[in-house]
A and B are shown apart, each in its own frame.
Chain A
Amino acid sequence: MGDRRRSRRLAAVLAVTGLAFTTAACGTGSGGSGDDPNTLEVWTRSNPDSAATYGRVFATFTKKTGIKVDYQPVINFDQQLQSRASTKDLPDVMINDTALMGSYQSQGLLKAVDPDSIAGHDQITAKSWASTVGIDGKHYGIPYSRQAQTLMIRKDWLRKLGIEAPTTWQEMLDVAKAFATRDPDGDGKADTYGMVVPGSAQNGYAAWWGSSFLWQGGAKIVEPDGQGTYKPAMDSAAAVNTVTWMKDNLFCGDNAVTQPGALTAITSTATNFQDGNAGMYMTGPYNITTFDQTLGKDKYEVVPAPAGPAGGDVLADGENVYFGAKTGKTKQEQELAAFLISPEGQKIAMTGENQPVVRIPVNSTLDAAAVRDDPRWSVVQKAYEDASQQFPNAPDFAPIKQDTADSLNAIFTYCGGDVRSQLKELNETLAGDLKDQDLLK
């Protein structure tokens, strides 16, 4: 008797808990806009400053079309997206890095896109469209913004020391050493550094920053064989030479060439350029707004990255518009995408007081420098068009990038190691990553 009562009580408690759980799950899952067909939930990976720019873009879109946008700027995008994915309820539209497309697609998070279904698709170049083709040959994103790395350099320091901006690796080293030793800020103290390096393995930074050097040295991380499969290429002679050069000159030689703490620095902690104590920073143009505000527009200039033995190719990157899988608002999503890539949509996102969210426009009728009335942007646009490479978009590049970063960080940390055997080991790891994805040749 007593037991039965107790079990009934337990059943009641469980029922109540179950109910509460279902409500809680609904509350967190749908973000409040899941049912209204005329409202799109849109996520971008943005801080509050760039979110303000997106806010203006979406406001104009709503005014023009009547389609409402429930806009969520998400800083830790990947973590949030994974947890939303686990409840099988994704945002309708996401804007995020191009290099993540393979990863998202391999998890089934994206809806395939037919370029012809997006109004104005012909204003995007074939090169840009090509970067959104997934492993199965279908498009999984719409190009939105592009960028390429350039060298930011202190022109007042160059002038003071009477030297020129570097165009080769050797010149870059000489300039870095001059910045570190010849007291370019004139305060009589040895407190300046040659260049800023976000060299931590965290989030794959070392591979992200180092990839431009690898390409300039003629090396590749993985190579496509033209039949949809890939092979790892970090054991090539070019890779060994390049990584050895980086190790000997940037990390294990005169240590004032890079900023202190470079091996544990990520972009948010590598602030030496904007703090005014480092003279060079090879990075993307999204930093231009920040540097203009913190350092001052007159203090630095934007130049093409110095070339290595195999040329001057830099890392190109950018954002795509993605449609989340399993939502039924395709028409509205296509309208939003069409607006985002239209000259008007791109212009709003490129200008204004806040951080621009379109760097190099994907719309070929626009010119970055002309829209902004700022010739520095033509340097970036030229780098993107003429001398840039992207991480392969089809495979899930996340593990490949992380393993490469882990390995590079270790090579740069332990100066006594043997680069050739360390890279050989990395190559085997990369082969394993490709094999996991059934992409190994």
Chain B
Amino acid sequence: MTATVTTPAARGGRRPTKKALVPWLFLAPGLLLALVFKFWPMAKGVWLSFFDVRPFLGDRWTGLDNYTRVLTDHRFQDAIGHTLVLGIGQSLGAIVLGFVLALLLEGQARLLKIVRTAVFLPAVTATAVVGELWRLMYYPTSDGLLNSGLNLFGLGPVQFLDNPDLALWSTMAMGIWIWAPYNMVIIMAGLAGVDRSLYEAAAMDGVSLWQRLRYVTLPAIRPALGIVLTLAAIRGLRVFTEVYVLTGGGPAGSTEVWMTRAYTLGFTRNDIGGASAASVVLLCVTLLLTVTVNYFRKRGDVR
């Protein structure tokens, strides 16, 4: 690795250097944008998390004060619980549903293409718009779409969002609906790579459908599942828009997640230092989770 990099330079002369610069030039715009809009603000966020932030009066160094405050705040502790429940439920639900959809909609037929496009729509619609739509669907009287459906069976009306015991699950259902098609596409790409002859061989051996899934399909789409799982884990932790639009964290904080809490801290209470600390904690947990998932994925691949 080192040898291949240093060889052209070691040989000297201008041409190889120029050649080495070309990829950097192509990368430059993206790097610049990332640096200005991503890494610099991120670094600044980490820096601010150690201060009582008062731009015009001078920031006051408070050390780890913000972190202790955030981590001991019972609202943040509740928010961790909600984030985990929502993140895990939403991720698993969306993966299972995405897998089922992928199995059902895999194939070449023209009609399938149309259905696939239709099914994919939630993933390309802005989350805020989806949230507004679901607010209408969840409308808590028999006029609401879902409640009028329940009404046909003599049930309801259900307070989907105003019942603190139900609100988190209602939010989760919307999350699954949004993210399942996204997972479907990745899993489908995985399915396309499955060796057909394996299915034929399995059919010859007369195995059941379940065994076929378990021993042929699942191992084959393992890499795709790994990607889906990593993305879902990250997404699950930084969930914000769905909750903010649908319930605003309410009622009674029953759907408050880590990000909505950080947002309230930063922008309603003007506590930028505390909000930064909360975001840094989230960043660390996300990094840790990503690394862990990757570690297990690689170990699984080797095995």
Expressed in whole angstroms, the Cα–Cα distance for A85 and B267 within the complex equals 13
- Minimum CB–CB distance from A108 to chain B (whole Å) comes to 3
Q: Which residue of B lies closest to A5 (CB)?
A: B9
- Evaluate whether A201 and B162 lie within 8 angstroms (CB atoms) in the complex, with A82-B272, A86-B272, A261-B140 already known: no
Most chain B CB neighbours (cut-off 10 Å) among A107, A261, A399, A410: A261
- Evaluate whether A2 and B6 lie within 8 angstroms (CB atoms) in the complex, with A107-B54, A260-B141 already known: yes
* A9: chain B residues within 8 A (beta carbon): 17, 20-21, 24
CB within 8 Å: A-B pair count: 125
Most chain B CB neighbours (cut-off 10 Å) among A24, A86, A264: A264
B55 within 8 A of partner (CB):
yes
Cβ-defined contact, B55 with A24, below 8 A: no
- Minimum CB–CB distance from B172 to chain A (whole Å) comes to 16
Interface residues on A, range: 35 or more
Q: Which residue of B lies closest to A20 (CB)?
A: B32
Interface string of B27-50 (1 = CB under 8 A from A): 010011001100010000000000
A202 within 8 A of partner (CB):
yes
* B36: chain A residues within 8 A (beta carbon): 17, 20-21, 24
A241 within 8 A of partner (CB):
no
Cβ-defined contact, B269 with A201, below 8 A: no
* B139: chain A residues within 8 A (beta carbon): 260-261
Residues of chain B in range 39-90 having any CB-CB distance to chain A below 8 Å: 40, 53-57, 75
Q: Give the residue of A202, A269, A398 whose beta carbon is less than 8 angstroms from that of B135.
A: A269
* A266: chain B residues within 8 A (beta carbon): 248
B264 within 8 A of partner (CB):
yes
B126 within 8 A of partner (CB):
no
* B249: chain A residues within 8 A (beta carbon): 201-202
Cβ-defined contact, B54 with A108, below 8 A: yes
Cβ-defined contact, A264 with B164, below 8 A: no
- Minimum CB–CB distance from A185 to chain B (whole Å) comes to 14
Cβ-defined contact, B140 with A13, below 8 A: no
Interface string of A46-88 (1 = CB under 8 A from B): 0000000000000000000000000000000011001001101
* B271: chain A residues within 8 A (beta carbon): 399
* B141: chain A residues within 8 A (beta carbon): 191, 260
Q: Which residue of B lies closest to A325 (CB)?
A: B56
B94 within 8 A of partner (CB):
no
- Minimum CB–CB distance from B248 to chain A (whole Å) comes to 3
Cβ-defined contact, A82 with B266, below 8 A: yes
Q: Give the residue of A24, A85, A202, A402 whose beta carbon is less than 8 angstroms from that of B269.
A: A402
Cβ-defined contact, A261 with B161, below 8 A: yes
- Evaluate whether A413 and B31 lie within 8 angstroms (CB atoms) in the complex, with A82-B267, A269-B135 already known: no
* A20: chain B residues within 8 A (beta carbon): 32, 36
- Minimum CB–CB distance from A233 to chain B (whole Å) comes to 20
Expressed in whole angstroms, the Cα–Cα distance for A20 and B32 within the complex equals 7
Interface string of B248-260 (1 = CB under 8 A from A): 1111111000000
Residues of chain B in range 79-125 having any CB-CB distance to chain A below 8 Å: none
Q: Give the residue of B250, B252, B270 whose beta carbon is less than 8 angstroms from that of A398.
A: B270
B208 within 8 A of partner (CB):
no
Q: Give the residue of B5, B12, B28, B252 whose beta carbon is less than 8 angstroms from that of A413.
A: B252
Interface string of B262-286 (1 = CB under 8 A from A): 0010111111100000000000000
Cβ-defined contact, A414 with B252, below 8 A: yes
B302 within 8 A of partner (CB):
no
* A2: chain B residues within 8 A (beta carbon): 5-6, 9-10
* B55: chain A residues within 8 A (beta carbon): 85-86, 88, 107-109
Q: Which residue of A lies closest to B272 (CB)?
A: A82
Expressed in whole angstroms, the Cα–Cα distance for A6 and B7 within the complex equals 12
- Minimum CB–CB distance from B301 to chain A (whole Å) comes to 33
* B53: chain A residues within 8 A (beta carbon): 86
Interface string of A356-387 (1 = CB under 8 A from B): 00000000000000000000000000000000
Q: Which residue of B lies closest to A14 (CB)?
A: B35
Expressed in whole angstroms, the Cα–Cα distance for A191 and B148 within the complex equals 13
Cβ-defined contact, A17 with B251, below 8 A: no
* A109: chain B residues within 8 A (beta carbon): 55-56
Which residues of A are in contact with B by a Cβ distance under 8 Å? Answer: 1-2, 5-6, 9, 13, 16-17, 20-21, 24, 78-79, 82, 85-86, 88, 103, 106-109, 191, 200-204, 260-264, 266, 269, 325-326, 396, 398-399, 402, 406, 409-410, 413-414
16 A-B pairs with CB atoms under 8 Å apart are: A5-B9, A9-B21, A9-B24, A86-B55, A107-B55, A200-B251, A201-B248, A201-B251, A260-B162, A261-B140, A263-B252, A264-B162, A264-B250, A269-B135, A413-B252, A413-B254
- Supply 5 further A-B pairs (C-beta < 8 A) apart from A16-B32, A85-B55, A201-B248: A1-B12, A103-B270, A106-B54, A107-B55, A200-B248
Q: Which 6 residue pairs spanning A and B have beta carbons closest together?
A: A108-B56, A202-B248, A2-B9, A410-B252, A413-B252, A108-B57
